[in-house]
Amino acid sequence: MLNVKNLHPISINNLKRIGRDNDGGYIIPKIIIDKCDGLLSYGINKDWSFELDFLERRKNINVHCYDHTLNLSALIKFTFKSILLCTIYIIILDKKRLAKSVYGLSIIKSYFKFFREKTKHFRKRIWSDNDGINRTVDSTIEKIQSEGSKQIFIKMDIEGAEFKVLNEINNIKANIIGLAVEFHDINSKSKEFNTIIDGLRKTFHIAHIHGNNYSKINSKSNFPSSVEITFISKKLLKGVIKKSDMKYPIKGLDQPNRHSKPDINLSFS
C-alpha cells in the first residue's frame, strides 16, 4: 500500500512550469533553475520542450539528453505521422490536436537545431549497468562533470526503469540539486516505490507532485498509477520547513497531461 503521507510536498515559493503545455511539462522551484549549471535529461522521446525552456531561463549550461529510442528513422516516421494527423484534424476541425501535430512537421529541423555544442543527445539507455547501450546515472554524472558542471538537475521519464536506478542516487558523490521524476506503476510496485521515496527524502524534500491523468486511479490508495514528483536538495533551503497547504493540482500552474480529461485531485491523508 502506498504511503501517501510521505508524498505531501513542502511549502516553497516561486514554482515555475517548464516545458510545453499538458504532457511534457514539469513544475520546478526557481532556485533550482538559478543554481543549475548542468541538466541531465533521461528519456526525451521526441519532445525536448522542457530542455529548451530550461535553457531559455538558464543560458549556457551543459545539457546532456539520453534516449536510445531516438534516431533519424524515428524522426522521419514521426514527421509522416504528423502529416497524416494534421490532415485528419483539419477535416474534423480539431484545433487543439492540430496545434500539437503541427509540431511534428518540423521535428527533424528542430532536432538538428537544438542538439549541438553544449546540448548533446546520447543514444544510450539509463540502466543499472554500463553494458552495451546501457549507462548508469553515475556514469552520466561523471560525463557532465567532466565538461564543467557542478550543480546538476536530473529530469527522468524512463518508463519504469526508475525503479532500477533511483535507489543509488544518495550514494552518488555529486551535487544533485534536484530531480523531476515520472514514476510509473506505483500502486502495483508500492513497496519498491515507498522504499525509493524514503531513501530520497533523506537528502531531498518533495517540492511538487502531479498525477498523470493518462493513468488509472487505484481504489485503495486513491492515487493514479503514474505521478510526476519534483525533488529539491535540502542543502538549497534554509529555515523552518513546513508542509504545503496548497491543493494539488495547483490552479494556474499544473495542467492535465491529457488535455481532454480533467486533472486528478491528490489527497495525502
pLDDT at 39: 98
- Predicted confidence band of residue 81 (pLDDT cuts 50, 70, 90): very high
Scanning 122-167, the segments in alpha helix (DSSP H) are 137-145, 162-165
Please say if the pLDDT value at position 137 is more than 80.
yes
pTM of whole model > 0.75? yes
The three cell numbers locating residue 118:
553544449
pLDDT at 96: 77
pLDDT at 102: 85
What is the mean predicted confidence (pLDDT) over 216-222? 93
- What mean pLDDT is reported for the chain? 95
The three cell numbers locating residue 146:
567532466
Cα 66–Cα 234–Cα 38 angle in degrees, nearest 5: 30
The Cα–Cα gap between 10 and 208 comes to 8
Please say if the pLDDT value at position 43 is more than 90.
yes
pLDDT at 208: 98
- Predicted confidence band of residue 75 (pLDDT cuts 50, 70, 90): very high
pLDDT at 11: 98
Q: Write the pLDDT tens digit of every residue in 195-218.
A: 999 999 999 999 999 999 999 999
Least confident of 68-77, 114-123, 165-174, 223-232: 165-174
The Cα–Cα gap between 103 and 145 comes to 33
Please say if the pLDDT value at position 94 is more than 90.
no
What is the mean predicted confidence (pLDDT) over 115-138? 96
- Predicted confidence band of residue 100 (pLDDT cuts 50, 70, 90): confident
Please say if the pLDDT value at position 93 is more than 90.
no
Residue pair 44/67 in contact (Cβ under 8 Å)? The answer is yes
What is the mean predicted confidence (pLDDT) over 30-53? 97
pLDDT at 172: 86
Q: Comparing C-alpha atoms, which of 118, 121, 128 is closest to residue 42?
A: 121
User: How does DSSP assign 168-217, residue by residue?
Assistant: GGGGS-S-EEEEEEEE-STTTTHHHHHHHHHHHTTTEEEEEEEE-TTSPB
Q: Which residue has the cell 543499472?
A: 128
CA torsion sign for 122, 123, 124, 125 is positive
